[in-house]
Amino acid sequence: MNGPAGAARNVKKTEVIFFASSHQMQEHEVAWHLEDLRSLACVKTTDESSLTLGVVTGAIEECSAQLAQKLEVNKAMHQKIRICGDTQIEHVLARLCLGTNKVNHILRVHGLGLWQEGHTIKKFDECQKSTLDRLVPGLSEQGHQQAALGAKVGGLGWRPAVDIALAANLGALISAAPKISAMISAVVRAGLVTEGVLENCLQLKILSVKAAFLSQLSESERNKAENFIDKSIEAATAAWCAMSLGSTRSISAPLADTIFEESGVAAVAPQLDIEAAPPEEGTARKVTSLHVQRELSKLQDCTNLRTLDAALSSTCNWSQLKRLKELRHPETSHAWLWHINPREGSVMTEIDYVAAVQKRLGAKIIDAECQCRICGEILDSCLSHSECCALADATRGHYAVVRAVVDGMRGSPQSRGA
């Protein structure tokens, strides 16, 4: 506070948070000079809610209330972007700017708490689901499960908050833990807190989020995730040590072994899988919260994909099972899903784009009974028949054109000269 310079302390914005219970606060009121402190700052305990870097901290009810408020904003923005009147643009905007992107920072802090509370996060996901239903009509429950997977394994990357909450929380904890530990050491050295108290809190938090995350995975991915988490913790600690010593040595973040092993198919030796994805030389992939979250989400995709495969098999949906397998082939490109020309907008006609996404997710495209115009067979609701229906005569025109082109080339001066 500098009176002569015209500066005044903003008491509301100056926060002092005590790691103590309200009972302890009353007990030490005089010794801690709380009355003086209250005239200078906003004094709180860790149980009371406050807003730090855009995230409400304190009791879980307050955190859920913030998520519920973000849900309303999200709903309103989904309504607003409908004005663009183009499904592809709307899809790309919603996928990249709305939905879980709007709350990822909250999930990084309170992922576990909100996942356990469950109610608000479910409402958030319902809003996402209804938007997807509007953009791509006819999706079944399995279609939604597929859309929630990453694009590389055949989904749309339309991940529900309930799926990313724990990965986001764990990613943030792993990447920030070394820094928080260093801050705790400083606090202990200053005599503000007894040694071991905050350290235990941090370790307990990491262990509980890790246990909850691992509980969602199937055994194969659980082992891979444990391996990846251990390596990430090591890398984060090494990166923090290097940085605090002023070293320029870059620590490369580990990659998770995200090779999908189908159930019933013997897994390739796990050791080999890990070797197959070593950190590339010279590329300093940093151990950031986002990197860890992304890798953990890929592992979760493998478990969810196996569940989806089983669901499709149990309903004898072989065409979609086959499509899903083709979609996760390493050489399949998914760029068309997000490809937008910055000047012209979408590059596919709206009807083609919607139909292509519907086919990708095995959506019900026609409701009424309809006959194939070529062979007369009754069409299935997903129009799988239309992809392969051809009568013997159907290729006649095609070969007539081929013959004409070949004849033309034979008769050309160049070919005669050759």
Measured CA to CA, the distance from residue 121 to residue 71 in angstroms comes to: 9
> Which CB, 77 or 372, lies closer to Zn ion?
372
Side-chain-side CA neighbours of residue 135 (13 Å): 30
How many residues in the chain? 418
Three-class secondary structure of residue 51 per DSSP: strand
Question: Which range binds Zn ion by CB under 5 A, 235-243, 309-317, 319-327, 366-374?
Answer: 366-374
**Residue among 187, 355, 372, 381 that touches Zn ion (CB under 5 A):** 372
Q: Candidates 7-15, 17-25, 184-192, 384-392: pick the segment binding Zn ion (CB under 5 A).
A: 384-392
Q: Does 389 bind Zn ion (CB under 5 A)?
A: yes
CB 159 within 8 A of CB 125: no
Q: In the complex, what is the shortest distance from the CB of residue 389 to Zn ion, in angstroms, rounded to a whole number? A: 3
To Zn ion, the closest distance from the beta carbon of 253 in angstroms equals 51
Q: Does 380 bind Zn ion (CB under 5 A)?
A: no
Closest to Zn ion by CB, 244 vs 371, is 371
CA–centroid distance for 330 within its chain: 20
Considering the complex, what minimum distance in angstroms separates the CB of residue 325 from Zn ion?
A: 24
Residues 146, 149, 150, 154: what is their CA dihedral angle, to the nearest 10 degrees?
-30
Among 96, 375, 400, 409, interactor with Zn ion by CB under 5 A: 375
Residue nearer to Zn ion on the CB measure, 377 or 407: 377
Looking at the Cβ atoms of 48 and 380, the one nearer to Zn ion is 380
Q: Which C-beta is closer to Zn ion: that of 206 or that of 389? A: 389
What tokens were used for 54? 């855009």
**Which alpha helices (H) appear in 150-269, and where do they start and end?**
161-189, 197-215, 219-244
CB 417 to Zn ion: min, Å: 46
Please calculate the CA angle 121-155-274 and round it to the nearest 5 degrees: 95
Least separation in angstroms between CB 385 and Zn ion:
6
Identify which range of 19-27, 182-190, 357-365, 370-378 contacts Zn ion by CB under 5 A: 370-378
Task: Tell me whether residue 12 or residue 373 sits nearer to Zn ion (CB atom).
Answer: 373
Positions in 207-246 near Zn ion (CB under 5 A): none
Count of other CB atoms within 10 angstroms of residue 265 = 8
Asked whether the beta carbons of 103 and 161 are under 8 A apart, the reply is yes
> Which range binds Zn ion by CB under 5 A, 113-121, 332-340, 356-364, 371-379?
371-379
Minimum Å gap between C-beta 320 and Zn ion is: 19
One-letter amino acid of 406: V
User: Which spans in 277-418 are helix H?
Assistant: 289-314, 318-327, 350-360, 385-388, 396-411, 413-417
Residue type, 339: H
Residue 374 contacts Zn ion per CB under 5 A: yes
The counts of H helices and E strands in the chain are 17, 6
From 233-241, 262-270, 300-308, 383-391, span contacting Zn ion (CB under 5 A): 383-391
Nearer to Zn ion, 3 or 397 (CB): 397
Decide whether 191 or 397 has the Cβ nearer to Zn ion.
397
User: What is d(CA 94, CA 86) in angstroms, rounded to the nearest whole number?
Assistant: 12
Chain residues that interact with Zn ion, rule: CB under 5 A: 372, 374-375, 377, 389
